[in-house]
Amino acid sequence: MIHVREIDHLVLRIVDVAAMLHFYCDVLGCPVELRDDSIGLIQLRAGQSLIDLVPVAGKLGREGGGTPDPQARNLDHFCLRIEPFDAVEIRQHLAAFGIEAGDMQSRNGAEGEGPSIYVADPEGNVVELKGPPSP
């Protein structure tokens, strides 16, 4: 039997490296853990997990097909567990970077139902920022 403990990593095929690094590193605080430009791979630390950015112009990116497109996404959204979760502070932080956040709603996640906010990265991938489960 297979037992899934957590998300290990997520791979996003990207076009604009600078914009995506700004969003994930500067806005969301995910530091670069490994960068290998020879194959086109940038790994970002997201808590215990990794987000891999693969530029479509690089070796790995060319193997994945066409360019990501808002009309032909291969990912609905992914969720990052945020702690502490203060909706007002999160909205202010995102606004300081010119990023529009969706409404805070209670949504179900791996730990149960709790607050979350949706945002979009520079290439249209939807990122859910999720708080702890409600008591």
- The set of residues, in sequence order, having a beta carbon less than 8 Å from that of 25 and lying 6+ positions away, is 31, 32, 44
- 18: helix, strand or coil: helix
Average pLDDT along the chain:
89
Tokens for 70? 């808002």
pTM: 0.79
Q: What is the pLDDT of residue 90?
A: 94
Structural domains of the chain sorted by starting position, each given as residue range(s) with its CATH number in brackets: 1-67 (3.10.180.10), 75-135 (3.10.180.10)
Contact 87, 115 (CB under 8 A): yes
Tens-digit pLDDT profile for residues 25-37 = 999 999 999 999 9
Contact 33, 16 (CB under 8 A): no
DSSP 81-105: E-SS--HHHHHHHHHHTT------E
Q: What is the pLDDT of residue 111?
A: 87
Tell me which residues of the chain have a pLDDT lower than 50: none
Peptide bond into 115 cis (omega under 30): no
- The set of residues, in sequence order, having a beta carbon less than 8 Å from that of 10 and lying 6+ positions away, is 49, 50, 51, 52, 78
